[in-house]
Each structure stands twice: as structure tokens, then as C-alpha cells.
Amino acid sequence: MVQIGNIQLPDFPLLLAPMEDVSDPPFRVVCKANGADLVFTEFISSEGLIRDAIRCRRKLDIFDEERPTGIQLFGGDEARLALAAKIVDVTQPELLDINFGCPVKGIVAQGAGSGVLRDINLMVRLTEACVKSTSLPVTVKTRLGWDDDSKNIEEVAERLQDVGIKALTIHGRTRCQLYKGEADWSLIAKVKNNPRIHIPIFGNGDINSAQKALEYKNRYGVDGIMVGRAAIGYPWIFREIRHYLQTGEQLPAPTVGERVAVCKEQLRKSLQWKGPVAGVYSMRKQYFQYLKGLPGIKDFRTQLVTSTEPEVIYAVLDEILVRYNGFEMERTPIELVNYHENCPL
């Protein structure tokens, strides 16, 4: 078992990464149902939360069936981050996570996200302020450093542990790398093998198959892994990893029926949570991955991303079931999509 404060997770837990405009409650629910052990919200601005910004407040919503859930905050001011932590405490998630890893330009310019990597003393003060302001276990997600000349994650891990964090997730890139190149897990392994470190260390970056998950588990010795981009439109990645870790066997690709059923469930939850307009719109970026590999699917997908009526979308999904009845899905490599495509990096 892996322990984060009073939260007990299974051996080698699989975590869903916090992703802006992706990791909303409907998506978290379908990932949890398909094997994610711990899920995180989209990252929430401490400034917006304090100002009672509607969009930020909505991000605090948690469905019972997705728990355990961590709410993730970002911010660069100690007092405001601490106050936001108090607000989060009242909503009763299982834990509070601090984002020191987001590379988006607008967030970095605020001195938040991975922008804090340029000032380790500030990172420590921000973390300590959160720990002192909440009864929740506090965790951190960060990167190796700002650039190749400042990969200071070993120092960061020790100092953040010293001020009270209960777990640390490390993305194996610097901020300046963004999502380019291959994630370097060797420094993550150094943190894990540091005799001073006694909190769980989770690795993040480039996990896109069950085979790679097992390879990285064995090679780097981390306590668990966080999956982000590979889960977009493919929540089955979690069950596939768990099954492979336990048996060494690859599960068959999800059937057309499974794909449509989970797509419908996420749509239903999106409509329930966001309403008929925003709920329809938020699902449009999901259909490509859900239906990838079906021959001649383009016309159906066009209907899905242009229709505005939920009843029409459900009808199109039902039509897909009929059209591809008996079709055997082939396994194709999971592409790590750039979910930040609309955000300047």
C-alpha cells in the first residue's frame, strides 16, 4: 500500500494528471471507472478562487464516484495561496496539490506554475504556507527545474518534504523543454533513491502504454506513475496498465461498444455538470481519440463536433454502434496529444 497522509492507495498507484480543460469531473469519473486510483482537478488559480470567480469555484466540484480526488492550486503569493488552501479545505477533497509544473506562458508570467522553479526559496515558502493553512494532506507536482542548467529537483524534494508535503510528483522535463524531447526519469529515480526521502515519489512524463509503465516501474523504482495526455479520449490506459503489471499480458483493445458506452457516459456527465450548451461543446475535443481507428469515421465525427443538440449526438453514437457492429478494433499506438494547443507556451 502507498500512504499519502491518511489516504491509502494500492501498491504502485496510477494517477490521473491535472490537465486544464481536460481533467473535469466527467472525465475524472470515466478514468476512475477504468482503473485510475487517484485523480486530480484542473489547476485552479488561487487569485480567482479568492475573488470568487465562477469558473474557479466550479472546478472545486467533485462527484462521489471519482474519489479519492486531489484539488490542485497554483499561485505565486504566500498569503493568497494560503487563503485559497483554506477555501479548498472546506470543500473536503482528499488532498490538496500545488502546481509548480505548468509551463503555460500566462501562468509563468504570474510567477506561478513552473515559474516558481526560478526561486526555490519562494517555492518552499509557498508550500509551507499551504501546509500550515489546511488540515488536508498537501502534495506537490513539479518539474526537474527551470532549464538544463538548473535541474535542482533533488534539493527541491528534500526541502519540500521538510516543510510537510506528503507526496511529490515529478515530470521528467524542465520548464524550458515544455513537452519537447523525451522525459528524463533518471533524476526522478535519484530523488526516489535518496535515503533522506521517505514520502511517495510519483513519476510523470511520456507514459503511453502498459509496457512502458512496467519498464519504468522496474527501471526507476518510483512508487507510482501519473498519466496525463495518454488518457485523453482513452481512459482504458489505466486498466491496461494495471492488468499488465499484474499478469504481463496485454488486454485487447476496447471494443466499439465499450468506446461508445464510455463516450456516452462522459457526455451524460458533461451535460449534467455543465448544462446542455457547455456540456456539448466540452466533449468535442474528445471524439477523435474515442473513435480513432474506425474506418470511414470522418463523417460521423463531423456530425458529433458540429451538432448542438444532445439528442442528435446520442443518435449519432447509436448509429456508429450499428454501422460498426462486429468490427474488431486493432490496437494502435497512443499519440501524446498537445492539450495545450490553445495556450501560448
Query: Which helix H or strand E contains 55, and what residues bound it?
Result: helix 54-58
CB atoms within 10 A of CB 11: 10
Torsion of CA 280, 31, 204, 182, to 10 degrees: -60
Cα angle: 107, vertex 26, 34; to 5 degrees: 110
DSSP lists the bridge partners of residue 132 as none
What pairing do the DSSP bridges indicate for beta strands 2-4 and 7-9? antiparallel
DSSP lists the bridge partners of residue 2 as 9
Active site residue 343: no
Length of the chain: 345
For the record, the C-alpha cell of 127 comes out as 508550500
CA-to-CA distance for 175 and 101, rounded, in angstroms? 7
User: DSSP of 7-32, one letter per residue?
Assistant: EEE-SS-EEEPP-TTTS-HHHHHHHH
Residue with cell 513539479: 142
- Spot the catalytic one: 56, 102, 130, 263: 102
Alpha helices in the chain (DSSP H): 25-33, 46-50, 54-58, 78-91, 105-109, 120-133, 153-162, 186-193, 210-220, 237-247, 256-274, 276-283, 287-290, 298-306, 310-323
Which stretches of 46-145 are assigned E, i.e. beta strand?
A: 69-74, 95-100, 138-143
Contact indicator for 12, 1 with CB cutoff of 8 Å: no
Q: Report the catalytic residues.
A: 102
